Amino acid sequence: MNAAKSHSVIVIGAGIGGIAAAAHLAQSGQHVTVFEKNGRPGGRCDRFSKDGHHFDTGPTLLVMPLLYEAEFAALGFSLREMLDLQRVDPTYHLVFDDNSRLELTSDMKRMHDQLERIEPGSFQGFLRYLDEGYRHYHLAMERLVNRDFRRAGDFFSLSNVPLLYKLKPLAKHYDNMAAYFDSPRLKASFTFQDVYMGLSPFEAPATFSMMPYTEMAHGVWYPKGGMVRIVEALVEIARTAGVEFEFGTAVEKIMIDGDETKGVVLDDGRILKADAVVANADLPYVYQKLLPEDGNARKMSRKRFSCSTISFFWGVDKAVPSLPPHTLFLADDYRGNFDSIINELSLPENPSLYVHAPARLDSSMAPAGEDTLIAIAPVGHLDEGGEQDWKAIRNQARRAIFDRLADLGIRDLEDHIKFEVNYTPLSWRKRYNLVKGATHGLSHTLTQLGYFRPGNRHPRYHNLYFVGASTHPGTGVPTALVSARLTATRLLEDAADRAVSAVNGKQFTAVAV
């Protein structure tokens, strides 16, 4: 161990939050080791390659670029220097059930023409909606996302009371759309982003209008080489700061003694002591599998979990240039879609679907003349009763995707697929230890946000910390970066407090003697 380093910290998991927290801590003089059960870093921000086809298996959209820039700067690096970013505009090509389209773009003239065609007068509603999104975004970033809530008083303070009407947390996002649009298709076009929080717009707080706002105003971006470049950049930053990584090594237990952790037990039997442990593995899983049973794991499993996905990764032997980078088939039965996913834990009859063609953004993602396609159907998470027939549901999802692509004139795709890899909720659970295979972890209902969300430090074990999607502030790559900074700050402040009390304690003892 480096003599100049003060404390030893073990990080469980090399997801975005784990790598970034490790980097912050090592930059502040801690001796940090990251143990990752998989053979590579990234967690859900994962990649696989086959026969010259490259697939980002998790995130495909770099959204909230201002957060990325701020968090890379907090680590002492420039996002734009480390990553070759291009703006994706139009962001999404939305396709409705009758094959009519809406391209979401920052070109306001085109937005005007398209929106007025769907609903006369709606462009003014759109501008007012963006205005609300602007207010929600800036307030939420300042007051909810970029700070943690260590005590109830931090959240339930007089200064936060105005947020109850300014951020509309008590209004449902979809209901709130009536103030801006009549057309159900337009209401859907500017609320579907709630799925990224694992939520239905029929239950999400209207606060989330900040998501369509940031996509329109700050853009959706794509790093050349794919989302995995973010992981590579973070690992480089962490290694430069002295973080050590051990891949293919799972933590089996977090050792607890009284009100503190003493370190971890690894799956190869090694017992490692640490001054502090940071768990980046999915928080409900940590309670279920790594901590002593004390009733909290059961409480955690009763919380609301986000939805999951069935994802298809296709190597295609011909290019499909008519497919834009991000196509979203938005089903007219929008409410029914969310009902089947969230309440019935199933796949809707006519599901909304997402198809990503990364080679439109970076030709190196597929061999010349061929294509790389990712298709995603949101589905319910795993039902602990085990009633879901994933083979049948997966086949139904695949059929639905081919049918919708055929509606766009892409009829022979099936004949050109060289290979398919697919993930169901069972795969998400197995690969990343996500409880219920919920791709976005704990969902972001009002009662699981802010102070109500599990915090960045364990409520009892004072040197055990959490970072990532199921803790504060929530899911998403940029939010995992924020979570990492908040967690590292808290750990460092706690360590400093303990050092001061230790010194004071000694002085007191000396006087007493």
Ligand X SMILES: Cc1cc2nc3c(=O)[nH]c(=O)nc-3n(C[C@H](O)[C@H](O)[C@H](O)COP(=O)(O)OP(=O)(O)OC[C@H]3O[C@@H](n4cnc5c(N)ncnc54)[C@H](O)[C@@H]3O)c2cc1C
Cis peptide before 473 (omega within 30 of 0): yes
Assess contact for 119 and 102: CB atoms under 8 A: no
Binders of ligand X among residues 418 to 457 (CB under 6 A) are: 432-433, 439-440
CB nearer to ligand X: pick between 326 and 404: 326
CA–CA dist 186, 174 (Å, integer): 11
Binders of ligand X among residues 402 to 421 (CB under 6 A) are: none
Binders of ligand X among residues 298 to 337 (CB under 6 A) are: 309, 311
| Residue 468 makes contact with ligand X by CB under 6 A | yes
Q: Write down the least CB distance from residue 319 to ligand X, Å.
A: 23
CB nearer to ligand X: pick between 195 and 405: 195
Neighbouring residues of 477: CB distance < 8 A, sequence distance ≥ 6: 16, 45, 59, 62, 68, 227, 230
Residue selected from 31, 44, 168, 360 as contacting ligand X according to rule CB under 6 A: 44
101-135 in b/e form (b: 16+ CB < 10 A) is: ebebbbeeeebeebbeebbeebbebbeebbebbbb
| Residue 126 makes contact with ligand X by CB under 6 A | no
Nearest residue to ligand X, by Cβ distance, number only: 15
Binders of ligand X among residues 89 to 118 (CB under 6 A) are: none
Collapsing DSSP to helix, strand or coil, 430 comes out as: helix
| Residue 65 makes contact with ligand X by CB under 6 A | no
Residue in 40, 33, 45, 84 with CA at minimum distance from that of residue 239: 33
Scanning 34-42, 99-107, 144-152, 318-326 for contacts with ligand X by CB under 6 A, the matching segment is: 34-42
174-211 in b/e form (b: 16+ CB < 10 A) is: bebbeebbeebbbbbbbbbbbbbbbbbbbbbbbbbbbb
Backbone angles phi, psi at 436, to 5 degrees: 60, 15
Residue selected from 58, 169, 263, 455 as contacting ligand X according to rule CB under 6 A: 58
Residue selected from 163, 477, 488, 492 as contacting ligand X according to rule CB under 6 A: 477
Q: Write down the least CB distance from residue 78 to ligand X, Å.
A: 20
Collapsing DSSP to helix, strand or coil, 450 comes out as: helix
Residue in 229, 272, 279, 284 with CA at minimum distance from that of residue 82: 229
Assess contact for 172 and 201: CB atoms under 8 A: yes
CB nearer to ligand X: pick between 36 and 275: 36
Binders of ligand X among residues 127 to 166 (CB under 6 A) are: none
Sign (positive/negative) of CA torsion 244, 470, 283, 465?
Answer: positive
| Residue 378 makes contact with ligand X by CB under 6 A | no
Scanning 156-164, 172-180, 338-346, 475-483 for contacts with ligand X by CB under 6 A, the matching segment is: 475-483
Residue selected from 334, 476, 487, 491 as contacting ligand X according to rule CB under 6 A: 476
| Residue 465 makes contact with ligand X by CB under 6 A | no
| Residue 191 makes contact with ligand X by CB under 6 A | no
Backbone angles phi, psi at 504, to 5 degrees: -60, -40
- Size of interface with ligand X, in residues (CB under 6 A): 37
| Residue 199 makes contact with ligand X by CB under 6 A | no
Scanning 37-45, 70-78, 405-413, 453-461 for contacts with ligand X by CB under 6 A, the matching segment is: 37-45
Q: Write down the least CB distance from residue 11 to ligand X, Å.
A: 9
| Residue 231 makes contact with ligand X by CB under 6 A | no
Q: Which two tokens stand for residue 124?
A: 């003014």
| Residue 261 makes contact with ligand X by CB under 6 A | no
Residue selected from 33, 207, 280, 427 as contacting ligand X according to rule CB under 6 A: 280
In the sheet with 260-266, reading across from the earlier edge strand, the strands are 251-257, 260-266, 271-273
- Using alpha carbons, list the distances in angstroms from residue 194 to 176, 335, 430: 14, 13, 25
| Residue 282 makes contact with ligand X by CB under 6 A | yes
Neighbours of 257 (CB within 10 A): 9
Residue in 365, 386, 387 with CA at minimum distance from that of residue 374: 365
Q: Write down the least CB distance from residue 282 to ligand X, Å.
A: 6
Show the DSSP H helices in 86-183 as ranges.
108-118, 122-140, 152-155, 163-166, 173-176
Scanning 42-50, 103-111, 255-263, 402-410 for contacts with ligand X by CB under 6 A, the matching segment is: 42-50
- Using alpha carbons, list the distances in angstroms from residue 154 to 151, 359, 398, 469: 5, 46, 47, 21
CB nearer to ligand X: pick between 95 and 195: 195
**Maximum Cα interatomic distance, the chain, rounded to a whole number of Å:** 87
Scanning 6-14, 238-246, 299-307, 450-458 for contacts with ligand X by CB under 6 A, the matching segment is: 6-14
CB nearer to ligand X: pick between 59 and 225: 59
| Residue 204 makes contact with ligand X by CB under 6 A | no
Residues forming contacts to ligand X in the complex (CB under 6 A) are: 12-18, 35-38, 43-45, 58-61, 63, 250-251, 280-282, 309, 311, 432-433, 439-440, 468-469, 475-478, 480
